[in-house]
Amino acid sequence: MTGDRPYETAGIMAGIYGDGYISMANAYEVSLIGAMRASIETLYAEACQADQGILPRGPERYYVEVAPERIDGCVDILSHPWFVAVNEAVLGPEWRIVEVGFDIPFPGATTQPWHRDFRSPEATSIGRHITSLAFNLTAVDTTLDMGPFEIAPGTQWDAIDECPHGMFPDRSRWPRYEGLAIAKLAQRGSISARSALTIHRGTANRSDKARPVLVIGVDGPDARNSDHHDLQMTRAFKAALPPVLKGRFKGRVVDRISGVRQNHVIDGLIAPIADGY
């Protein structure tokens, strides 16, 4: 760390363009994460009562997109200097938040197929330019039996366009990913950033505890992931944003939050896979 730049661009770029994943431990107070978790639990209960309010991501694993202001502490989370610095370094000055949601693998959640979150755009596959980022904040201290997130470092550059939707590598490729795989045992207060194109999977939750994770999607100016989301904020929330977040959201400004449309369906994650394949 040097001078007035505590988070160096070179290190951020090396991580995202190299392994495809970086993280910062102890970024937030555990009390803030506790409030975030309480919001997630309330919002999940509400979503279960709504028609198509939750999206399945495999057996006993669900995703819900929400309005940022419904998450307690969200402004503090999104205005953290590391979060801002990572977006500035990788995506440039015109980055925009396009998604806030949460993923919950409950007890009994099974291992997902290896995948990326969407097809690699030509800017990445040909131009070797990362155009968007996904941030995760765990709401619990992760242990091995809770089904930690696994990532195969460096695979954001893999060419898999022949695979279904350019997202799901053929099983013949899986041994390579398993050889590269690193399980991320995220702890409360940490935040991670990754390219959503880096091949990854959720693993089986064999514990008796849920493992909720907040998800934040951010686009650079040449990404179009906002087309798949329904980010909403009220006029009052927008007006009260601190300067660092002014103009940083891409979505609908409304008088009152209505049901968020759950658009980001990933069909390939719904069916379970057998242990040992």
Question: Where on the phi/psi map is residue 98: left (φ > 0), alpha (ψ -120 to 50), or beta?
Answer: alpha
Query: 148-189 pLDDT, tens per residue?
Result: 999 999 999 999 988 878 899 999 999 999 999 999 999 999
Looking at residue 268, its pLDDT comes to 55
CATH number, span 46-269: 2.60.120.620
- Write down the pTM of the prediction: 0.93
- Report the alpha-carbon distance of residue 147 to residue 184 in Å, rounded: 10
Looking at residue 275, its pLDDT comes to 47
Domain borders along the chain are 46-269
In the chain, the percentage of residues whose pLDDT exceeds 70 is 91
